[in-house]
Amino acid sequence: MTGQSFLPYGRQDISEDDIAAVSAVLRGDFLTTGPMVDAFEAALANRVGAAHAVVCANGTAALHLALAALQLEADGRNCAIVPSITFVATANMARAVGLEVVFADTDPDTALITTDTLAVALERAKQAGLTPRVVLPVHFAGQSPDMDALAALAATEGCVIIDDAAHAIGTISAGGYPVGGSPYAVMTCFSFHPVKTIAMGEGGAVTTQDPALAEALRRLRGHGLTRDPSCFENTEDAFTDGAANPWYYEMPEIGFNYRATDFQCALGLSQMKRLDAFIARRTALIAEYDERLKTLSQHITLLPQQPAQTPAWHLAVALIDFAAAGISRAAVMAILRSHGVGSQVHYIPVHRQPYYARRWPDLTLPGADRYYQRCLSLPLYPTLTAEDMNRVCLALTTALRGQP
C-alpha 385/C-alpha 366 separation (Å) is 37
Q: Which residue, among 133, 42, 128, has the nearest Cα to 80 in the 3D structure?
A: 133
Report phi then psi at 267, rounded to 5.
Answer: -65, -45
Amino acid making up residue 286: I
Catalytic hit among 126, 196, 273, 294: 196
DSSP labels, 213-264:
HHHHHHHHHBTT-B--GGG-S-HHHHEETTEE-TT--B-SS---B-PPPHHH
196 tagged catalytic: yes
Residue 52, H or E segment: strand 52-56
C-alpha 11/C-alpha 281 separation (Å) is 14
> Do the beta carbons of residue 368 and residue 375 sit within 8 Å?
no
Q: Which residues contact 74 (CB under 8 A, 6 or more apart)?
A: 97, 98, 99
CA angle 269/275/278 to nearest 5° reads: 135
C-alpha 62/C-alpha 221 separation (Å) is 9
> Do the beta carbons of residue 381 and residue 13 sit within 8 Å?
yes
C-alpha 398/C-alpha 395 separation (Å) is 5
Q: Which residues contact 184 (CB under 8 A, 6 or more apart)?
A: 147, 148, 150, 151, 161
CA angle 149/150/152 to nearest 5° reads: 65
Give the residue numbers marked as catalytic: 196
